[in-house]
Every structure is written in structure tokens, then in C-alpha cells.
Chains A and B, each alone.
Chain A
Amino acid sequence: MLLYAAIILMMLGLYGILTQRNIIKIIISLNILEIGLNIFIISIGFVNGGVAPIFTGQNNLGSIGFVDPLPQALVLTAIVIGVGTTALGLALAKKIYAKYGTFEIDDMKGAE
């Protein structure tokens, strides 16, 4: 079910990008899209009755139903990349605001 939730979240993000005219809102919907994707990645690795993939005192034997660790490693990287692009997007938003005085794309004069 997490899988479908993730895809719905992604679609929400896409919808946000498609319809919003405000720069900040676009960045936010971009983030929603990324979060949806990250959840989707996590949901790929889930095993019913699986345990967090860490060797600790109790579950110290190999292959006793760990959850798939690889998606979690991938999602770690995806999150950080999301941070990178969002930071850059916000910096650009600040620049755009400095230049056009507004975040609304429609009433940015001379944007062509």
C-alpha cells in the first residue's frame, strides 16, 4: 500500500509543478515529488516481517529476515541530492525575486 501511496505522492508533486505559477510552490512540489520517490524506493526493499539491516546483540546471525539494505543506501543518496537541488532552487528563487520583484511567473515582466 506504501507503494501506491508513494506513486500518488509523486503524482501530487507532478500536479503541483504543472499547475503552480509561484516559484516557491514549484520548488515545494518538486520536493513532494522527491519525497514520493524516496518512499517508493524504501517500499521496494521492504520484506514482510523483516528487521532493520543492522547486526546487533540479539539478531546477530546472517539472513534471518533482514529488510533489503540496498534501497536504504540509495535513498540516503537520493535525499541528499534532493537537498542539493532544493538549495540551488531556493537560491535561484532569491535571485529571481531580486530581479523581477515577484515569485509569480505570469507577472514577471520581460522574462522572455
Chain B
Amino acid sequence: MSAVLLIAIPILAAFISIIVKKWSPYMLLFVSFGLVILLGYLPFEIITIGGFSAPYGISLVVDNYSYTALYVVNVLFFLVAIINVCNYKKLGTILLVSLAGLNGLMLTGDLFNLFVFLEISGISAYIITTTNKKPLATFNYLVAGTVGSILYLLGLIILYNMFGTLNMQDMAVRIAASGATDIEVALPFLLMFIGIGVEAKLLPFNSWVKGILGHSNKLTGPMIAGVYAAASLFVFGRLLTEVFVISDTFMLIISVILAFSILAGEAMAYSSTKVREILLFSSIAQAGIAVLIFVSGFTGYAVLFISLNGFSKVVLFLIINHATEVVGSDEVIDLKGLFVNNKLVGASFTATVLSLLGLPLFAGFFVKMGILSQLFSSGDYVFPAIILLSSVVEGVYFVKLLTKLWYKEDNLPQVKFELPLVYLVVVISLLLVVFGLYFEPLHEQALVLVNHVKGVIL
């Protein structure tokens, strides 16, 4: 039961499924469920492909970090797939391939292989977003994504030229051995940082996000904002902790960009009147926070933050996209009073929002406390101030949204949420509440991840 199956099986299923077109959605469900089960039996090890040892052949790394990442991505993928399988039958194969690509992203230990999987998941993402019926927005996404991956490849090749290897760990070892000052190493890492930054929705590079998520539907919304966002942030984390060596001048600049992107994201969300825009801008801000935590070096809580964020975004986008499809527009005025008739969905939406805000009795509270305590213990006061200020603004516009969605007297929007969506949404929000109350497992997971030091795989 080696982790390669996580990639091989979906690809195999994808290849087979183009013959038997009508079964492809059911194959998708079966494979993705199978992978979630398979995840239970994965040993922590380095898997060499083709029998060639690490720096020469390609190696897949299964450690705590990638295990959590895999778990989050696969479970989220499976949930989104169940909801959307019935009305996006044609995309069965594409989704299989994107599953393989995402798993590859999480597992791979080789930089060039990361580029290939980045491309696979990227292209399948472009195709998924074509269902938004907005070809220009998808075109923007394609151009941005391709430019991003080109920059990543350029940075990668420069690194290869300087240190002669492609394996992440070997690269880290060689950089340390060569004693290259972090100024000299800055150019390639900068290119790779920006390359991944485009995909991870960091502010200056994410003008494609508004087009895609602004007009998303029940599949693209949760997929891009939930699954892909979590995956790209995990990749970001993997690179930042494993390979990158960031000099303090760049740390300053990057943190200025991140701080700007957090505050600007919240301000944009505050100023937008469309519900989906509010959600997408707040997810931009949260992406900024996640990368901020990675840059400050706390992988443990960053992973928890990303996974919680991923789950919450899937819930939020599912509900809002379904309502927008029925009502026709996602303006807050048109969706006013949405939860008056469907209280269960409203309750889980509210619970998820409160967990995003980091209020007690919800899992978000514990993660936020963890992040802040680590940021403070490292002695810096600026980032926590920014995070807290942004969560105040975030709180205000979410409360404004909630009061609008819950309270309206006459001609309420006639929206019926079908059972699987309701069931999924309730289960996730219940999870958030349960982990909010009983957060021992989260604590252990965070501690285990914290000592995931560079080079120590297991």
C-alpha cells in the first residue's frame, strides 16, 4: 500500500474512463472514496519511483506534513465530488486527473516533478472553471497560471544550474553545504515564490480570482476556493520550510506585501455587495495570513489554519453558490432572508462563519490562539496586530451579512437545499463545533507538525 497509488490509480481510472463515458462520474466517486480509505493505511516513508535513490530518481515524501495535507485535500475533494457529480457528468475524467495532480502536488519531493503536477492540476483547474460560462475569466486564469508556472520553472532551472540537483532535500543540503549567502540565492527563490504566489492567490498576483470565484458555480466555487487553495498553500508551506532560504531584506518586503494583501483583502470584502465577492476577498486575506505564518516559520498551526479554512470555504461557497443558482443573482439584497426558511443550512453557515472569525466554542478559536501565541512568543508585535485588525473588519462585514441573511419579513427567496448538500454542510459545521469544544487532537497534531524540521522527514 504505497502512496504512489494515490497518483497512479486516478490516472489509470482517467485513461480508462474516456472509453466508458457514462460511467466516469461513478468511477470518480469510487476512486476518490477508495483513496480516502487508502489514506488510512499509508506508512510514513520516502517512496522512490523506478528504484533510483533520492537525488537521482524522483521520490515521493510521505511525512506528517504531507499526510495531513493529503487527508484534507482528499476528503474535501471527495465531499465536493459527491455534491456535484450528478450535474457535471461530463467532467468526471477531468476531476480524476485533477485529483491525481493534487495528490502529486502534496507528495512529490522533487522540484521539477512539482512543476509537472502544478501544471496538471492547473490545466484541469482551467477546464473546471470553463463551466462558469465566462471564457474570458478562464483565459485570464490560464494566462496568469501559465506565467506563474513559467516563472517557477525559470527559478527552478537557475537553482539547478547553481546546485545541480532537483530533489528538494538534496537541494537544501547542497545550499547549506555551499554556504551561499541568502542574497545570492534570492533570485531563484523569488521567482519560485511569485510563481507559486499566483496560484496561492496572494494579493498582487491574483487578479484572476475575482473573475473565477466571482461567477463560480457549485463545482468551481468549492473546488477552487476550498480544495485548490488548500493545496497551493500546502505546496507553499512545503517549499518555504523545506527549500527556501529567505534573506531578511526579502523577509521584510514579502511581509509588507502579505500585510498589505491581508488588510486590502478585508477592505475589499468590506466594500463589496455581492456575497461571493465577500467570500472570495476574505479567502484572499486568509491566504495572506496562512503564508504570513509560514514565512514566520510556524508550520504546525499554519497547516491547521489552512485545513480549517479549506473546510469552511467549501461549506460557504457550496451554500452561497447553490442559492445564487436558484435566485439568479448573488447581490446581498436578493439573498436577504435566505436562512429564514432553511434554518439548518443557516445554522451551519453561521457556525462556519463564526469559526472563521475565531470565536470560542469553535475550532477556529483554538487555531487563532495558537497562531497568535507563537507569533507573540517570537517577539514580534506587528503581524498579530495586523491579523487582529483584519479579523475585526472581517467580523463586521460577516455580521452585517449574517443579520441580512437571517432577518427578512416578506417575499423571501424561494431556495430549497437538496439533502446531500444539507447533510454535508451540517456534518462539517458539527465537526467545527466538536473540535472547538474538544481540541486535544488538534493540539497534538499541531505539536507533531511543529517539530517537522527541515530535512527530518519522519
Contact = CB atoms under 8 A, between A and B. Distances in A.
B112 interface: yes
B116 A77 contact: yes
B157 A74 contact: yes
Contacts of A77: 112, 116
B136 interface: yes
B119 A105 contact: no
Contact of B123 (A10, A40, A84, A93): A84
B430 to A, nearest CB: 39
Contacts of B4: none
A95 B149 CA distance: 24
Interface string B160-174: 110000100000000
Interface stretch (B27-35, B140-148, B258-266): B140-148
B126 interface: yes
A1 interface: no
A76 to B, nearest CB: 11
B135 A96 contact: yes
Contact of A33 (B112, B119, B150): B150
B139 A33 contact: no
Interface in B82-117: 112, 116
Interface in A33-65: 33-34, 37, 40-41, 44
Main secondary structure of the interface of B (DSSP, over half): helix
Contacts of A44: 157, 160-161
Contacts, number: 67
Given A34-B150, A81-B119, A84-B119, A41 B139 contact: no
Given A33-B150, A88-B142, A89-B139, A40 B130 contact: no
Contacts of A99: 135
A96 B136 contact: yes
A26 interface: yes
Contacts of A105: 136
A33 B142 CA distance: 14
Contacts of B157: 37, 40-41, 44, 71, 74
Nearest to A26: B143
A14 B191 CA distance: 14
- Overall SS of chain A's interface: helix
B139 A37 contact: no
A89 B160 CA distance: 29
Nearest to A14: B147
A111 to B, nearest CB: 5
Contacts of A34: 146, 150
Nearest to B136: A111
B127 A17 contact: no
B153 interface: yes
A95 B119 CA distance: 22
A88 B161 contact: no
Contacts of B142: 85, 88-89, 92
A8 interface: no
Contacts of B154: 10, 37, 40
Contacts of B149: 81
A83 B49 CA distance: 26
A88 B127 contact: yes
A84 to B, nearest CB: 6
Nearest to A29: B143
B283 to A, nearest CB: 21
B121 interface: no
A78 interface: yes
Contacts of B166: 70
B150 A92 contact: no
A37 B143 contact: no
A105 B139 CA distance: 11
B419 to A, nearest CB: 34
A30 B148 CA distance: 12
A26 B144 CA distance: 12
Interface in A1-40: 10, 14, 17, 23, 26, 30, 33-34, 37, 40
A10 B142 CA distance: 18
B429 interface: no
Contacts of B390: none
Given A74-B112, A81-B116, A17 B143 contact: yes
B129 to A, nearest CB: 10
Given A37-B154, A92-B135, 6 more contacts: A40-B157, A44-B161, A77-B112, A81-B149, A89-B143, A92-B139
19 contacts: A10-B150, A23-B139, A26-B143, A33-B147, A37-B157, A40-B157, A41-B157, A44-B157, A78-B153, A85-B119, A88-B127, A88-B142, A89-B143, A92-B126, A92-B135, A95-B130, A95-B135, A96-B135, A108-B136
Interface of A: 10, 14, 17, 23, 26, 30, 33-34, 37, 40-41, 44, 70-71, 74, 77-78, 81, 84-85, 88-89, 92-93, 95-96, 99-100, 105, 108, 111
Which A-B residue pairs are the 8 nearest by beta carbons? A95-B135, A96-B135, A44-B161, A92-B139, A81-B119, A85-B146, A111-B136, A41-B157
